[in-house]
Amino acid sequence: MTTPVKPLTAARPRLPAAVWALVCAVFVSSAGAGAIAPVLTERTAELARTAAVPGVVSAYFLARLVCTPIAGRLVTAGLTRRLLPAGLLLTALSTAGAGLAGDYWQLLGLRVVGGVGSTLFTVSAVALLVAAAPPRLRGRAFGVWSVGFEAGTVVGPMVGTGLFTLARSAPFTVTGLCLGLTAAALLFLPRRDGADDGETGGVAVRMRKVLAHRAYRAALLSNFAVGWGAYGIQVSLVPLFVLARFADGSALASVALTAFAVGNAVVLPVAGRLTDSWGRRPAALLGIALFGAGLGGIGLSGDPVTLVAAAVVTGVGCGVIGPAHGAAVADVLGPDARGGSALASFQLAADVGAVAGPVIAGVAAQAWSFPAAFLLTALVPAVAFVAWLRAPETLPAPARTG
């Protein structure tokens, strides 16, 4: 009598250790930025005056915009693994120094250094994420990366506020220490077998060749739309609109922003798997459609329930887009290509959108009305939607699952 042999089942694919290490790093980085955000305004006012706060914030983002193309070239040159801890170390030193700055100009200079460090870290981390994640797991990799980032933005401000009650410089010192320890840990970032991380070989990809790919151009447009709507309009125009339209607008604005964050956070884990099963293009189309509809709905909302519902839809759409267009860019480049400039341009698209969106929509709101400004904003993802309709699917056929 023979014992029946159990059929062998394929092991469920898992994300490589390097992906989880990068997720932890982006969580610490995001939490650090969130920890000092509530107290940076007061710190600036101590050294100068409240009117000087926008200058400190603008200097940080201007440094990011200027440094992003440079970081891309350095990644293409094969310096990815060196840039990763170096960028985080610059951020750590500048953050700790901000708590000890003796005057406004020192603080301003340190924030510029922090912007440079943040850019070096982000561009190199995304490049390593592309190299580490297998094609069939790229959507999930970008999904958990986004979860790590969003979790940091939630945890950071709470921790920073608590530390500030202990000592005024504590948020800066503790954040700098945590970032420094994370930078040291990244020196030992594991490599995925068979993958090139841009240090030892690979082919440098020319930007002209990448731009010729319709999926990459669609990803640029959708990331620009996310920067415009999620990073720009959500934190600038939405609060102003709610204050002008509704009674008790201050509290309702906070509820709307929270609803956006909840919708985003809830869908992110599912969005990564959706991207790896449906494909990049269908997921991107779904996400960009929800995102645009939600933004338009916010501007047309006439009661709190509609406003909150539209904010949730916007957050869900944003959460679906992220893994889809990130994975598409990774597919276009491939794991062994040194595509630093392409990755930097992808990131830069969101940064430019975040800067341009509030300015252009703000002018539209003053010239016409808030609903007109939000409808104008909804046109940006509409353009990206058309671009994705024309884009090919980039998920390799053998990687698709049911």
Residues 6+ apart with CB under 8 A from 206: none
Tell me the per-residue pLDDT of 111-142, one tens digit each, with 9 for 90 and over: 999 999 999 999 999 999 988 888 889 999 99
Express each pLDDT in 333-378 by its tens digit. Answer: 877 667 788 999 999 999 899 888 888 998 999 999 999 999 999 9
Co-location of 117 and 169 in the same domain: yes
Q: Is the dihedral of CA 28, 29, 32, 37 positive or negative?
A: negative
343 is a domain residue: yes
Query: What secondary structure does DSSP assign to 126-143, as a single string?
Result: HHHHHHHS-GGGHHHHHH
Which range (48-57, 183-192, 293-302, 317-326) has the least confidence? Answer: 48-57
Query: Domain end: 159, 191, 223, which one?
Result: 191
Indicate whether 28 belongs to any domain: yes
**Eight-state DSSP code of residue 231:** I
CA dihedral 67, 184, 16, 223 (to 10 degrees): -20
Q: Has residue 370 been placed in a domain?
A: yes
Give the total number of structural domains in the chain. Answer: 2
Residue 96 belongs to domain with CATH number: 1.20.1250.20
269 and 127 together in one domain: no
Range of the domain at 278: 209-399
Same-domain status, 170 and 274: no
Q: Do the domain assignments include residue 7?
A: no
400/145 Cα distance (integer angstroms): 21
Are residues 38 and 186 located together in one domain of the fold? yes
* Residue 259 CB-half CA count within 13 A: 20
Q: Are residues 380 and 261 in the same domain?
A: yes
The token duo for 154 is 């939630």
Q: What does the pLDDT look like over 217-262, one tens digit per residue? A: 999 999 999 999 998 888 788 888 998 888 877 788 888 888 998 8
Residues 224 and 384: their CA atoms lie apart, in Å, by 9
